[in-house]
Amino acid sequence: MTRWRSARAPLIWVALGLAIGVPVAFAAASEQLAWRDPVYIIAGFAGIIALGLVLVQPLLIGGYLPRLSAYRGRRAHLWIGGALALAILIHVAGLWITSPPDMVDALTFSSPTPFSPFGVIAMWAIFAVAFLALLRRRLGLRPRTWRIIHIPLAIVIVAGSVVHCLLIEGTMETISKVALCALVLAATVKVMIDLQVWRKRKTPRGENVARQ
């Protein structure tokens, strides 16, 4: 069993790399990029990378990525959360530079495009989590209080990001995009279910996760 787990560990990392890298590669090969300016392209790819980071977050918090201790998983979750917020800032800033009126419509929920409100809601949820994470100690948020705040916001982030991505007809290739979104949902649902199981059984692993 130990040998099997040791042999499986690299495969999990390879699978994660493919899950994120393949959609990025297909988007990079899209013919639509020929008609886009560099700032718009950077903004678009920042959004794709952000979705990939959304996939990584539940995998880290659930302890599903091998060779990462509970402490390293928590630290990685924190840093990737910051990277996610930065990617969203680049995504929004780039779109603002290329088309301010469209961004104003999106931020004020008056855009005619159906994907805009989902992206904006997910964006504010990401910023809220990042802001609270930075001020968690100053605010004196206990682990239980942090979970009560963080978990609903995480669900909003996942749901909003997935719907936003699926509704956009852009540079991302359809099959790889759907697959990535499905993985994001599956990872999130699994960690939510497992967290409930751990709380009931009060296993050591559950206690480690409960400190997030």
Residue 30 is classified by DSSP as -
Per-residue pLDDT at 35: 86
pLDDT, tens only, 134-158 = 999 898 989 889 989 999 999 999 9
Give domain status of residue 165, yes or no.
yes
Q: How many domains does the chain have?
A: 1
Per-residue pLDDT at 210: 42
pTM for the full predicted model: 0.87
Give domain status of residue 145, yes or no.
yes
Give domain status of residue 74, yes or no.
yes
Distance (Å, rounded) from C-alpha 147 to C-alpha 212?
7
Give domain status of residue 212, yes or no.
no
Checking if the pLDDT of 39 tops 50, the result is yes
Is 67:9 a contact under the CB 8 Å cutoff?
yes
CA 7 to chain centre: 27
Closest CA to 191 of 85, 65, 11, 83: 65
pLDDT, tens only, 63-87 = 899 888 888 988 999 999 999 999 9
pLDDT, tens only, 18-34 = 999 999 999 999 999 98
Give domain status of residue 197, yes or no.
no
Distance (Å, rounded) from C-alpha 107 to C-alpha 121?
9
Distance (Å, rounded) from C-alpha 55 to C-alpha 182?
10
Q: Checking phi first, is residue 142 left (phi over 0); if not, alpha (psi -120 to 50) or beta?
A: beta
Is 70:63 a contact under the CB 8 Å cutoff?
yes
Quick one: tokens of 32? 């639509």
Give domain status of residue 73, yes or no.
yes
DSSP result, 165-184: HHH--SSS-HHHHHHHHHHH
Domain hosting residue 89, numbered range: 21-183
Checking if the pLDDT of 196 tops 90, the result is no
Give domain status of residue 166, yes or no.
yes
Which of 7-11, 59-63, 95-99, 161-165 has the weakest average pLDDT?
A: 7-11
Q: Which residue has the higher pLDDT, 9 or 82?
A: 82
Give domain status of residue 7, yes or no.
no
Checking if the pLDDT of 61 tops 50, the result is yes
